[in-house]
Structure 1
């Protein structure tokens, strides 16, 4: 078929009557049967081919790797054949018609007949993908034949031109048409992706937009055929195509201008529909969260399951790294997950979360720092209380990129963490509707800092951000509501047990045994050596006191060097680098959590203690905290005072046997006690270890009498 002899520039224009007749014929071929194709992902992969193929007018390079990385994830639901086979059949059909006589209109309508069961976005995506295979193959051989013997041999058999200098006008027109087809396809995909079942559009806007989609689909089909005919036309003797190049370029340009006009009008209509949908659906979401529901299913479905009946992804069946074995290759194991292919991802529906408390973890695709993630997993799925709760809660990760579109690095990061963590995640977060993203940002107050919103079993928000609460108490904080967080702070005390709760097995054991522990931090190796010497002098008298180095928040190479020297010179015990991060992350979370609470005298006192440690670390000031188990009244020393008071051990050491180590140190630190006892009292939860130890009054600093209150 000779395209040049059958088409003219004027043939691209048509009257409204012709459009009405064309639409009727197109609709006669449309018979959707419920099959669904991820047309957006397929288009991205197709555009990636166009990007590589184009040499004269390069397309947007941001698709360089995205399409390639996700091409295997394209889904064809309820289809009788794999999407790859469908594309192959379409490609062969288009290619064969290049050698059959007939006009472009008839050929385009035959493609409509083949794609009758598909939605409109899938129709155009499949045709473009089919064309891209021929287009990409042509350019691949053309680019390689000068330096590759195989490509040269194939080029000879296909009669491909050896000199393309005469073809530049035609290639420019071809590339312009290809880009325009892609832009029109994006408009169609955007409209088909609107949640029309949620909000009714204005009938006139709907009718006009759909009519434009039918016409635009037709011209994409027709243009794809024209491009293939042009490529076939190049397989001729150079004297033939060199003379026809200007005319052929004009034919392609006429189609490009036709599609460009359609694209402009269609984009305006789709944007109008999008605005109507966004406004109506956003209002519906606001009302939805004000209503009382029997369960959380309607809320979850409206947010996450409009485009996907199996919106969640679960990799918990895989072997997960356990925080208990952090020192045994955590980082190596996590990094190896980048190289693994996970074929056992479970696709889950919203019914999996029915009757569960849902913790919506919202963050960038990069999630938290590695250590923050490890601590989160330890405090949730590895926490002792997790099994006792019997799956009463689930974390659902919703990653949201900084921009409106996902880039390659963000997709790689999402795949890595989604495959590594035991929590659920949105299976295809790039399909989240912009209205849902806007709702999360504005109503759930997501500001690109990790956020954990808690929904109870009825889908009601009970805590606007429980992430710090989770990092502090873990599964113990169930059901993670704001009232539960407030209750925990009311009953919590600033003790050694709370300060280091669960971050290290050996340290936890020492705390439970009621040992006298000295938690200290410094970035000065000389100071650490001197302090260790002082403690050893005290221990030489038979007194029990163990030292634990917790490093600093800034884990530089210098801190790593200090760790090695402490171990080599036996200067005391120390946490590993990961456990150190756990310690500092928990302290940061304590401060943030208390600040969000309504301040009381009790919580204000804990906040002051935590803030002093964090501030000392910020200015690299040496500090020491001495405590015992769950006893209150920790002794905290900073800077020069540490050595001054340890030098006074011969003075206050005599009182250790009478009142205990902490009380003896405190007596040396503080002014003489008042002549009479005070009336201060403190009610704490019962603990057998409290009955054995000594509790010092926070006001008069004397040992307190113990009473048991029965309720």
Structure 2
């Protein structure tokens, strides 16, 4: 039976009144996302996403009335991103079309997608954000520099910036604009983080990553659409000066976009946090298994063992030398007998005094009996579930300063997998232990602490 005129099915009436309005929205979003996905044809074009995003963040960080521009003075423009900047220049013109010609937001957004069809999702975002940052950065650069630079002052006058700055209190839309731009940055960072997740530890089969990737198209679309809205606001402001007052519709649009992007960000960030936790667990298990394998393998020297226990990377100097208190590399321990002092911050002064006497004795007779020489390294054990506090830091530094041997620079360098290994394999139970390693990193004695007390009674005895 067909309905005519005012005869409308109850379900349709509820739909129009808003009871099922979300279904219309979902349907509309689905159609839009299908359009966007059909325009996504990446062909492997490389973009230095992190570098461009860093420049964008620098610009937007200082694009406020009271910003300190000296912080970015002389920031280098690397040659490797020149092509990316040239691409961004084309996007600027497209973003400005709405204000200049009144092009529909969705149509303008699709035009940007068409322009960036051959780029990856994260590249689409950072290039669009770069275009927006250029517009907004130019606006605030003239506003700030007009006080100190004659050229900027003249250009600001032509762009009516002088009158704009004098009536800043009337430009309430700038707060909404700044808030939306920050939301766009947060979503952009999330999409970049997703791209950077290490495939060696996580795959799209993991539900959290699968869910996040399913939302990337939506995130990119609404961020670029927000860029179109922001560009329109900036263009209108610089074109019509402070007399331009954003309409209620435009203000509502910025607020709605801001709300939508914040919801997208919260969802993506939640999934990213779950992914990072999954990755950390995989890395933890891998690190623990690596330790087990290392101690079951014969080595030419002790470097692999010591690096795995103390700090595996080469980006910092992980040890502090006892007398000079200078930071040094683990290489100073190569092919040495190493006595690992493993303890919490509550090690007693009696234990330290005895060990210090033993250490001095070893150094004294080193030239005569080289085999008896050993180096001591303090490994501070910290429960990962305990929050590190300022009092703990001061206690650690005070203890470290009294030790004449090598110490780990900071407890945070000791990996969680190492802590588990020490507890399970060397049976550490909060009381200090001494683990003796030979020049090849082999465990000679899993706990020589009792030998230390024997040495106190009979100093002529050796640990060997």
* TM-score of the pair, normalised by structure 2: 0.58
Which of 12, 35, 45 aligns to 1:25? It is 35
- Counterparts of 1:476-515 in structure 2, within 5 Å, are 478-483=439-444
Q: What secondary structure is seen at the aligned counterpart in 1 of 2:418?
A: coil
Residue in 1 aligned with 2:112?
111
Residue in 2 aligned with 1:164?
167
C-alpha distance in 1 between matches for 2:246 and 2:191:
34
Cα distance change on mapping 1:606 and 1:112 into 2, 3 Å: farther
Q: What secondary structure is seen at the aligned counterpart in 2 of 1:235?
A: helix
Q: CA deviation at 1:168?
A: 2.7
Q: CA deviation at 1:153?
A: 0.9
**Residues 660-684 of structure 1: CA deviation (Å, up to 9, x unaligned):** xxxxxxxxxxxxxxxxxxxxxx999
Q: CA deviation at 1:141?
A: 0.8
- Counterparts of 1:102-141 in structure 2, within 5 Å, are 102-141=103-142
Cα distance change on mapping 1:270 and 1:153 into 2, 3 Å: same
Q: CA deviation at 1:156?
A: 2.5
**Residues 541-565 of structure 1: CA deviation (Å, up to 9, x unaligned):** xxxxxxxxxxxxxxxxxxxxxxxxx
**Residues 339-398 of structure 1: CA deviation (Å, up to 9, x unaligned):** xxxxxxxxxxxxxxxx984752539968555844466588369x9xxxxxxxxxxxxxxx
Residue in 2 aligned with 1:379?
332
Does the alignment pair 1:54 with 2:56? no
Aligned residues: 351
Cα distance change on mapping 1:134 and 1:294 into 2, 3 Å: farther
**Residues 267-326 of structure 1: CA deviation (Å, up to 9, x unaligned):** 333344444454455445545655689999xxxxxxxxxxxxxxxxxxxxxxxxxxxxxx
Which of 209, 215, 226 aligns to 2:212? It is 209
Which of 187, 190, 199 aligns to 2:190? It is 187
**Residues 131-161 of structure 1: CA deviation (Å, up to 9, x unaligned):** 2222122111112224432211111233435
Q: What secondary structure is seen at the aligned counterpart in 2 of 1:143?
A: helix
**Contact between 1:201 and 1:277, CA under 8 Å: does it hold in 2?**
no
Name whichever structure is richer in helix by fraction. 2
- Counterparts of 1:236-635 in structure 2, within 5 Å, are 236-238=239-241, 240-241=243-244, 243-244=245-246, 247-279=249-281, 282-283=284-285, 286-287=288-289, 290=292, 357=304, 359-360=306-307, 362=311, 367-368=318-319, 371-373=324-326, 376=329, 379=332, 441-445=415-419, 478-483=439-444, 597-599=447-449, 604-605=454-455
Cα distance change on mapping 1:103 and 1:156 into 2, 3 Å: same
Q: What secondary structure is seen at the aligned counterpart in 2 of 1:195?
A: coil
C-alpha distance in 2 between matches for 1:293 and 1:123:
48
Cα distance change on mapping 1:13 and 1:44 into 2, 3 Å: farther
Q: What secondary structure is seen at the aligned counterpart in 2 of 1:234?
A: helix
Q: What secondary structure is seen at the aligned counterpart in 1 of 2:171?
A: helix
C-alpha distance in 2 between matches for 1:106 and 1:254:
18
C-alpha distance in 1 between matches for 2:64 and 2:458:
63
**Contact between 2:219 and 2:264, CA under 8 Å: does it hold in 1?**
yes
Residue in 1 aligned with 2:238?
235
Q: What secondary structure is seen at the aligned counterpart in 1 of 2:123?
A: helix
Does the alignment pair 1:43 with 2:45? no
**Contact between 1:219 and 1:259, CA under 8 Å: does it hold in 2?**
yes
Q: CA deviation at 1:46?
A: 2.5
Residue in 1 aligned with 2:87?
89
Structure exhibiting the larger radius of gyration computed from Cα positions: 1
Q: What secondary structure is seen at the aligned counterpart in 2 of 1:30?
A: coil
Q: What secondary structure is seen at the aligned counterpart in 1 of 2:440?
A: coil
C-alpha distance in 1 between matches for 2:43 and 2:52:
20
Gaps of 5+ in 2: 1-17, 337-383, 388-410, 429-433
C-alpha distance in 1 between matches for 2:320 and 2:285:
35
Residue in 1 aligned with 2:25?
15
C-alpha distance in 1 between matches for 2:275 and 2:56:
26
Q: CA deviation at 1:178?
A: 0.8
Q: CA deviation at 1:444?
A: 1.7
**Contact between 2:139 and 2:238, CA under 8 Å: does it hold in 1?**
no
Q: What secondary structure is seen at the aligned counterpart in 2 of 1:227?
A: helix
Cα distance change on mapping 1:14 and 1:254 into 2, 3 Å: farther
